[in-house]
Chain A
């Protein structure tokens, strides 16, 4: 089996470039006279109506079957649905009891130790795809890996998670003929879930390894590669996968002669490298990597023929230049 040739990848966009692009986008969305509180109020109204609306009753029930009320008159349908609830409830119960018998009780001392605290050696960033759980494919046992799972195993950069809103207010006070104009620059955070997990894993748990795992036939990467600029931006998927946009641009320029499926495969790996590069934009990650206290790895799981590739970022601290490229080392291919 041939080992893949060394791959390199470039530094992410610098902050100033992205601010300009973001500001342009914002002005086309918000326009000159939008009140800053408008979006927020809409969101709050929605939540409020769910909490206090007269027609919606919210009930948390502990007991399984038979409590779901039906609006239609079919008793048979009601019973069938009740059985479904039973099945999934019973299913969860049996799943847990199997774990308790086979693992928890067999390793009681270990679980008691774990209950006092965790000291995982790994932080894993993997896709939410049901087929690629790191506990299954890499055999991580309880206590071994702090795991983040999101669509397409993406890591946003440290800087570009901030979105700037330029908001314009106009006030016309009594007895004044011309309005007063105010401009406000508001900062709103972009996607923030992964950042919190990184902070916890690296600074609190002090993990020694971060492994970002991509995989074959990733729906999120496919969505990223299919994205057109003029498309409707109301999709959440689009708002998220755009985090990996650089990877898709690099893929399209490097692999334009390949089929779309092959391009997606290329992007799945390029996106892992892009995420590794983004990890280094976090100052506390970069510091630890430079000191040799933290290692950053990429991985790729192919579930079509069951192979796993792994590589480690070869980082020599202190020599970052604009558009500098990072090398990799310790590449493995397991099949």
Chain B
């Protein structure tokens, strides 16, 4: 009963407020958050005092999505049920803090997304790196995405591991070290150029250089070469710094100059 009264009150408040014109985006978001908090359905707030059971956590998350997104956009989700036409193929780190759906607000259908340690794109290798290759092949050949975006980030554990890894191979991690060594050229460049700077600064440079290396490695895939050459595909880099809340983006351009006779 109490819950019903509460819901009626919240709906009434929302109706009243919506009749007031001229809310900017920030105010509208605050009202939405307030309404959600009153209804006890705000999962966008960070409630650290309650240690939730993991199953309860994902059930609440799913119900929120279904009620507030899926059921409220039937046209979109009906279309998505029949196919996907993402504008981006995104490579992002598996780090829990950097999901592109949060930081770039990607909604269902927006971005085909690969997430791995240190957001790496390894060079073409059908045996060792078939996972990444499969995602690139599918995104370009089947989905015809027009943009690839590789996003690095601050305090990346994978890059830190690469930068601190002793050269004599005495480290205990088998798979991680084998994987992050893909970015060894980036490490070499950073040490050569910034070897006199602090370890943290070198890591930050390497996080960005590794993105550039991944963009270059993309060109080792024939479908990427073809699509870039015919201008159907753009390659972009990004860097999310969650310490100061900034995002840098840049484009990787490559082209053939006109042919000159000898």
Asked if B49 is at the interface of the complex by the 8 Å CB criterion, the answer is no
A9-48 to B contact mask, C-beta < 8 Å, 1/0: 0000000000000000000000000000000000100110
A104 to B80: give the CA distance in the assembly, Å.
29
A3 to B7: give the CA distance in the assembly, Å.
31
A163 to B130: give the CA distance in the assembly, Å.
13
Are A237 and B134 also in contact (CB < 8 A) when A129-B84, A138-B58 are?
yes
Q: Establish whether residues B251 and A85, one from each chain, have CB atoms under 8 Å apart when the complex forms.
A: yes
A211 to B54: give the CA distance in the assembly, Å.
10
Asked if A323 is at the interface of the complex by the 8 Å CB criterion, the answer is no
A195 to B48: give the CA distance in the assembly, Å.
31
A248 to B248: give the CA distance in the assembly, Å.
43
Q: Establish whether residues B238 and A137, one from each chain, have CB atoms under 8 Å apart when the complex forms.
A: no
Are A237 and B54 also in contact (CB < 8 A) when A95-B105, A140-B99 are?
no
Find B216's partner among A58, A71, A151, A303 (CB 8 Å cutoff). A58
A330 to B43: give the CA distance in the assembly, Å.
24
Asked if A55 is at the interface of the complex by the 8 Å CB criterion, the answer is yes
A246 to B247: give the CA distance in the assembly, Å.
43
Q: Establish whether residues B254 and A57, one from each chain, have CB atoms under 8 Å apart when the complex forms.
A: yes
A147 to B96: give the CA distance in the assembly, Å.
7
Residue numbers in A under 8 Å from B132 (CB-CB)? 193
Measured CB to CB, the nearest residue on chain A to B124 is: A43
Q: What's the nearest-Cβ distance from chain A to residue B258, in Å?
A: 7
Q: What's the nearest-Cβ distance from chain B to residue A109, in Å?
A: 9
B76-101 to A contact mask, C-beta < 8 Å, 1/0: 01001100101100000011111101
Residue numbers in A under 8 Å from B84 (CB-CB)? 129-131
Q: Establish whether residues A69 and B255, one from each chain, have CB atoms under 8 Å apart when the complex forms.
A: yes
Asked if A326 is at the interface of the complex by the 8 Å CB criterion, the answer is no
Are A236 and B136 also in contact (CB < 8 A) when A88-B147, A199-B174 are?
yes
Asked if A172 is at the interface of the complex by the 8 Å CB criterion, the answer is no
Asked if A209 is at the interface of the complex by the 8 Å CB criterion, the answer is yes
Measured CB to CB, the nearest residue on chain B to A208 is: B54
Q: What's the nearest-Cβ distance from chain B to residue A178, in Å?
A: 34
Q: Establish whether residues A240 and B178, one from each chain, have CB atoms under 8 Å apart when the complex forms.
A: no
For chain B, residues 17 to 72, give those with C-beta under 8 angstroms from any C-beta of chain A: 25-26, 29, 33, 43-46, 48, 54-55, 57-66, 69-71
Q: Establish whether residues B179 and A130, one from each chain, have CB atoms under 8 Å apart when the complex forms.
A: no
Residue numbers in B under 8 Å from A85 (CB-CB)? 234, 251
Residue numbers in B under 8 Å from A306 (CB-CB)? 66, 70-71, 77
Find A150's partner among B64, B110, B114, B234 (CB 8 Å cutoff). B114
Q: Establish whether residues A133 and B106, one from each chain, have CB atoms under 8 Å apart when the complex forms.
A: yes
Find B178's partner among A106, A110, A192 (CB 8 Å cutoff). A192
Q: What's the nearest-Cβ distance from chain A to residue B145, in Å?
A: 9
Measured CB to CB, the nearest residue on chain A to B48 is: A110
Asked if A197 is at the interface of the complex by the 8 Å CB criterion, the answer is yes
Residue numbers in A under 8 Å from B175 (CB-CB)? 192, 195-196, 198-199
Find B131's partner among A114, A191, A203 (CB 8 Å cutoff). A191
Q: What's the nearest-Cβ distance from chain B to residue A75, in Å?
A: 15
Residue numbers in A under 8 Å from B65 (CB-CB)? 136-139
- Return 6 A-B CB contacts under 8 Å, by A number: A57-B257, A139-B60, A142-B99, A145-B96, A147-B99, A196-B116
Name A residues whose Cβ lies closer than 8 Å to a Cβ of B.
43, 46-47, 50-51, 55-62, 64, 67-69, 71, 81, 84-85, 88-89, 92-93, 95-96, 98-107, 110-111, 114-115, 118, 120-122, 128-133, 135-151, 154, 163, 188-201, 203-204, 208-209, 211, 216-217, 219-220, 234-237, 239-241, 295, 299, 303-304, 306, 308, 310, 330, 332, 334
